[in-house]
Structure 1
Amino acid sequence: MSEKYCIITGASGGIGSQIAKKFYDQNYYIILLDINKEKLENVMKAMDFKLDRAAYYPLDITDENDVKNILRHIYQQYQRIDVLINAAGICGEYAKAIDTSISNFKKIYDVNVFGTFLMMQNVLPIMIDQRAGVIVNFGSVSGLRGYTYEIAYGSSKWAVIGMTKNIANEYGSCGIRANSVSPGWVDTDMMKKTLINYKQLGLSETVNIGPINRPADPIEIAEAVYFLSSGAASYINGANLVVDGGKLCD
């Protein structure tokens, strides 16, 4: 098989776009998905992705019918899906548990948990038929530590890590591997939004970014994702790879 196909959700984001570039540079055919069509078009242009090996579709991963329809179209077009990267995610609004609105909680879970689930649920039958496939989801160090003010975001990422292990256990015998990546601070718009939110809560804008003393470059996260998707990680299944510069060691 000469062509391999990779789907990336959240592909217009700082991390998602770098993941797309990494797979494109490794000669994958990439399919970029994100809720914002204009941002997808900007990524296609900025990364100089050519339409002979890249496609993009606007998608709301919280909408079950939208997910089903887009994935049905993708499969009809390309006849296989080798890698699914669920990079779409939101941090929502940070607050103490007693101040966290249920609407904010639900919105975060709709994207981070249920959106990730819907993508896996609808890609898995294709991978099962192929007897091969790789899924990489996104956890977070927040899902491992239980940080203050992050009950909604952190618990959603804990849920994603758990779902990943479920999938790894259920479908490993079908030739499918599922793993997750848990970043710490990454130099993205989400990090900037988080620091603004922290300031509004009266917290220090100086945060613990770990002993390497800098946030990750999105490219560094993309490298970890590609590794888990590659043959070099052929026996890694159900793992959660922490890519935080040692932050959890502090």
Structure 2
Amino acid sequence: MNLSLKDKVVVITGAGKGMGPDISTAFANEGANLVLIGRDMDALQLLKTQIDTITSALILRCDVTNPKDCDSAIAVTLAELGHVDVLVNVAGGTGPVGDTAWDTTPEGFDEIVKLNMGGCFLMMRAVLPGMIARRYGKIVNVGGTFGMHGRAGRMAYSASKWGLRGITKSTAIEAGPYNINVNIVAPGMVDGPRFRTKVMPGMAEARGLSEDEVIAEHAAEYALRRISTGQDVASACLFMASDVSRQITGVDLPVDGGWAAL
């Protein structure tokens, strides 16, 4: 299937870490012109070196929780490439892991909500005027299935991803008349460095289990009995960013092996 993403201008936040490299590489392989955004310029430069063998990539330092950074990143993108076709909001964090609601600090709660909700809002706010003017745009917010189904020990994270659903759905209604699709790709657990070094240790300690036992428990909850990969999430992002999904907006697409929706 031809996704017709060749030469599209695609802005990807959080490109350098977590699922970012998998998602960025997937768009590169489709021939898109990439703008890779993040705070860690070393990670972005490494990714750019790899992607430059496939397609062009512009890297920009941007803290998505800072409105001026977001506006500046899009202003540079418009100056360099003329417009933005697609925004993929990957940047996000895990928040407190293993803490109950009553053990979660106000600071920990505010930090993850500001990043996971506020970062997507600020980037959408920066790109939407240009998309509206061109009567075209695709926005893909990377949410999470804990924003569709509560999870003990992940209250703050769940709240942030649940709130992102409201942001996405309301914006989809507002932007729809301008031929702009706004959707969520909602991964379940995604195997990778962040999963192995940040999520699993906290969950294992809180549960009194080994990390392997916690991973096996998660896999057993999914209909397909396996943990998702970054490539699984990347494929869903490609679909939502393409015109193949032209009649889909305001939805949550779980990529979790069959957990949240079943």
Per the normalisation by structure 2, the TM-score is: 0.90
- Tell me by how many angstroms 1:41 deviates: 1.1
C-alpha separation in 1, matches of 2:48 and 2:34: 11
Q: In angstroms, what is the RMSD of aligned CA positions?
A: 1.7
Query: Conserved in 1, the CA contact under 8 Å of 2:146 and 2:161?
Result: yes
- Tell me by how many angstroms 1:232 deviates: 1.0
- Tell me by how many angstroms 1:85 deviates: 0.1
Corresponding position of 1:230: 242
Structure 2 CA distance for partners of 1:249 and 1:176, relative to 1, 3 Å: closer
Look up the SS of the partner of 1:97 in the other structure: coil
Query: Conserved in 2, the CA contact under 8 Å of 1:138 and 1:160?
Result: no
C-alpha separation in 1, matches of 2:31 and 2:24: 11
C-alpha separation in 2, matches of 1:89 and 1:7: 15
Q: Deviations over 1:48-88 (max 9, x none)?
A: 42496111111100111111112111111111100000000
C-alpha separation in 1, matches of 2:116 and 2:51: 29
Q: Deviations over 1:73-117 (max 9, x none)?
A: 111111110000000010122210000011111110111011110
Corresponding position of 1:201: 206
Q: Deviations over 1:199-246 (max 9, x none)?
A: 232343323221322211211110001001111111001111011001
Q: Is structure 2 residue 118 aligned with structure 1 residue 87?
A: no
Query: Conserved in 1, the CA contact under 8 Å of 2:254 and 2:261?
Result: no
Structure 2 CA distance for partners of 1:73 and 1:195, relative to 1, 3 Å: same
Corresponding position of 1:56: 59
Equivalent of 1:158, from 162, 168, 189?
A: 162
Q: Which runs of 5+ in 2 are unaligned?
A: none
Q: Is structure 2 residue 251 aligned with structure 1 residue 239?
A: yes
- Tell me by how many angstroms 1:13 deviates: 1.9
Instruction: Tell me the amino acid that sits aligned with residue 232 of structure 2.
Output: E
Q: Is structure 2 residue 18 aligned with structure 1 residue 14?
A: yes
Structure 2 CA distance for partners of 1:52 and 1:245, relative to 1, 3 Å: closer
C-alpha separation in 2, matches of 1:99 and 1:189: 26
Query: Conserved in 2, the CA contact under 8 Å of 1:138 and 1:161?
Result: no
Q: Which runs of 5+ in 1 are unaligned?
A: none
C-alpha separation in 2, matches of 1:116 and 1:48: 24
C-alpha separation in 2, matches of 1:203 and 1:4: 48
Corresponding position of 2:150: 146
Per the normalisation by structure 1, the TM-score is: 0.95
Look up the SS of the partner of 1:89 in the other structure: coil
Query: Conserved in 1, the CA contact under 8 Å of 2:28 and 2:54?
Result: no
Query: Conserved in 2, the CA contact under 8 Å of 1:9 and 1:34?
Result: yes
Instruction: Tell me the amino acid that sits aligned with residue 30 of structure 2.
Output: Q
Equivalent of 1:68, from 71, 78, 97?
A: 71
Calculate percent identity across the aligned residue pairs: 31
- Tell me by how many angstroms 1:42 deviates: 1.6
Structural mapping, 1:172-191, within 5 Å: 172-191=176-195
Corresponding position of 1:132: 136
- Tell me by how many angstroms 1:18 deviates: 1.2
Q: Is structure 2 residue 250 aligned with structure 1 residue 217?
A: no
Query: Conserved in 1, the CA contact under 8 Å of 2:31 and 2:55?
Result: no
Corresponding position of 1:168: 172
| Total equivalences in the alignment | 249
Look up the SS of the partner of 1:23 in the other structure: helix
Query: Conserved in 2, the CA contact under 8 Å of 1:113 and 1:156?
Result: yes
Structure 2 CA distance for partners of 1:102 and 1:145, relative to 1, 3 Å: same
